[in-house]
Amino acid sequence: MSIPNEIKTIGIVGAGQMGNGIAHVCAVAGYDVLLNDQDPTRIDAALGIIERNMARQAAKGALADRDMKDALGRIAKAPRLADFAACDLAIESAAEDESVKRKIFADLNGIMRTEAMLATNTSSISITRLAAATERPDRFIGLHFMNPAPLMKLVELIRGLATSQETYETALRFVESLGKTAANAEDFPAFIVNRVLIPMINEAVYTLYEGVGSVEAIDKAMRLGANHPMGPLELADFIGLDTCLAIMQVLNEGLADTKYRPCPLLVKYVEAGWLGKKSQRGFYDYRGDKPMPTR
């Protein structure tokens, strides 16, 4: 894949699961990457995860050893947002919290060149509203990568009300240069994938809440009965229950339909800090030799 002429250096805000995956993909595709996080220790942790994930790809023959070495050499730490001054594109991949994201974009707007592009990896929040936090809404777009970014082929491409056609076409070429497939989504709450997926997960939680089936039975039923690669509760733990709840809240508030009401059990798990794999407990307990259902 050829790299779009307009983009050479990419800044990524947020070194968590999605941010490190996006950094991985961009570096392998030949881009220089600056990785930022408000917690500098998370940047170091992310670099370790990226190296391990690339080594796994190399062991499977999906990435040559030389290409892995080159890709790792393209990723640099950027402990301050001010380091993004020379970036051609910044991709925000922070927590699914609109106030956090708006603050990041307001800061980036004053740091990056006026012709540079801004993108968000939000899975549910309005692109138009986030773009309004900047003075360049025409250079702003949604790039929603799927998790895990190195493996999943899809990127949702979402235009805000003011996104220019030039920005859209540049973003499309960028997505294709990563070896990904773009799906155009309109700027409605949760876009396409999560508009369908997260309410399904919420319904699975209601099924558990109402005692229709156990965690194990629900996941087994959907794996074997609907041919899903993961059961919905296992998938919720992988995504993060806090993220699932945040998306349901965006759908509930944005569409004002009772079918998007978050299940009280999902709320309770998040309140308990049982967020899934990242906290070692969710619908499964991951602290032992193998995951065990918590209900």
Residues designated as active site: 123, 144, 156, 194
Tell how strand 292-293 and strand 284-285 pair up. antiparallel
59 contacts: CB under 8 Å, gap ≥ 6: none
Tokens standing for residue 252 = 């509930």
Alpha-carbon span 64 to 48, nearest angstrom: 18
Cα 164 versus chain centre, distance: 23
244 contacts: CB under 8 Å, gap ≥ 6: 198, 201, 202, 236, 266
Alpha-carbon span 60 to 42, nearest angstrom: 27
H-helix or E-strand spanning residue 218: helix 215-225
Alpha-carbon span 270 to 45, nearest angstrom: 24
